[in-house]
A and B are shown apart, each in its own frame.
Chain A
Amino acid sequence: GIQVEQSPPDLILQEGANSTLRCNFSDSVNNLQWFHQNPWGQLINLFYIPSGTKQNGRLSATTVATERYSLLYISSSQTTDSGVYFCAVTGGSEKLVFGKGTKLTVNP
């Protein structure tokens, strides 16, 4: 089945710094989403982005489907951005496959 790799696995930043999270996938996808998992476990939608570029405030995402990767950019990070960020894709099997996540810690 499709493989999803996220990097880096851990990221520690000072408040105000910018960061880029990467998601590589092994096959063509129909669906790609980025999520932020809050401390209580809920997955919060950030972007639905099977291709192209989207922006939402300090966050933006780009997916280059032909090269099988997606990037999540966080600018001017805040302590509330801390948590685990997941990339999830759906390919031919139509099963949502998650990466292992990037754990982001933003220090004040």
Chain B
Amino acid sequence: KAGVTQTPRYLIKTRGQQVTLSCSPISGHRSVSWYQQTPGQGLQFLFEYFSETQRNKGNFPGRFSGRQFSNSRSEMNVSTLELGDSALYLCASSRLAGGKTGELFFGEGSRLTVL
């Protein structure tokens, strides 16, 4: 079965712009979570959505937002981009929500460069 699909894979933006990233989970998975990976901070949790509701949120400013649609696909948006937002953004899907989800499966990521 198809894995987690993230689009776009690469993108370049300038400071002040906004960006929207998309994640399609594995069929049947209802939980989608997002992570930011940078060389300095490592992998950090952004937020988790389950059945169109945000269940959990990491320590990121309000410029980072997300949503989930009825088909479980999720988008995350970053507004007013800063240079420090340059990162690999990873999406993961799982069958259930929260800490007892069992296994998480990751997409290939969206690599964002902010100039």
Across-interface contacts of B99 in A (CB, < 8 A)? 30-31, 90-94
List chain B positions with a Cβ less than 8 A from chain A.
33, 35, 37, 42-45, 48, 55-56, 58, 88, 90, 92, 98-109, 111
Chain A interface, number of residues (Cβ within 8 angstroms) = 24
> Is the Cβ of B90 less than 8 Å from the Cβ of A101?
no
Using known A-B contacts A30-B99, A94-B98, A94-B99, determine if residue A42 contacts B107 with beta carbons closer than 8 Å: yes
Within 8 A of B (CB), among A83-108: 86, 88, 90-98, 100-101
**Does any Cβ of B come within 8 Å of A45's Cβ?**
yes
**Does any Cβ of B come within 8 Å of A33's Cβ?**
yes
Across-interface contacts of B55 in A (CB, < 8 A)? 94
Across-interface contacts of B101 in A (CB, < 8 A)? 31, 90
